[in-house]
Structure formats: C-alpha cells, structure tokens
C-alpha cells in the first residue's frame, strides 16, 4: 500500500516536472524555438525514413 502511494507521489512529481519544463520552453525566444523546430523536423524525418514513410523536407534555413 505504502509502495503504491510512493509511486503515485513520484509519478505526480514527474508529471509536474514535465509540465514545468514545457512552460519553460514556451518562454524561450522565438529564434531559439525555431532552432528547436528544425532539429525536431530533422529527427522526425529520420524516423520517417527508418519506417519507410514518405519524407518531408526540413526547412532549409541557415539563420
């Protein structure tokens, strides 16, 4: 029983930390967010290729 409670508390803490991280990311400057977006596009594109799905071209910007 105590084990379950401890796990419950831990999971709650983890979800809270995730939420806080997302809120922190939401406050980043837009230029930094765009850098993250392009990294995400590249990652997703690699996954699509691995799965044999049609690829989408990540943005070709150098800024």
Residues that bind other proteins (CB under 8 A): 19, 22-23, 25-26, 30-31, 33-34, 36-37, 40-41, 44, 56-63
Dist CA 54 CA 62 (whole Å): 24
Rounded to a whole number of angstroms, the minimum distance from the CB of residue 16 to other proteins is 12
Output 7 or 28, the one with its CB closest to other proteins: 28
Rounded to a whole number of angstroms, the minimum distance from the CB of residue 6 to other proteins is 26
CA 19-25-31 angle, to 5 degrees, is 165
**Contact of 41 with 56, CB cutoff 8 Å:** yes
């Amino acid at each position: 029983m105590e084990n379950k409670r401890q796990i419950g508390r831990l999971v709650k803490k983890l979800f809270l930390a995730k939420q806080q991280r997302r809120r922190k990311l939401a406050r980043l400057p837009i230029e930094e967010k765009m850098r993250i977006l392009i990294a995400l596009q590249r990652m997703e594109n690699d996954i699509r290729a691995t799965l044999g799905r049609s690829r989408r071209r990540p943005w070709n910007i150098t800024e």
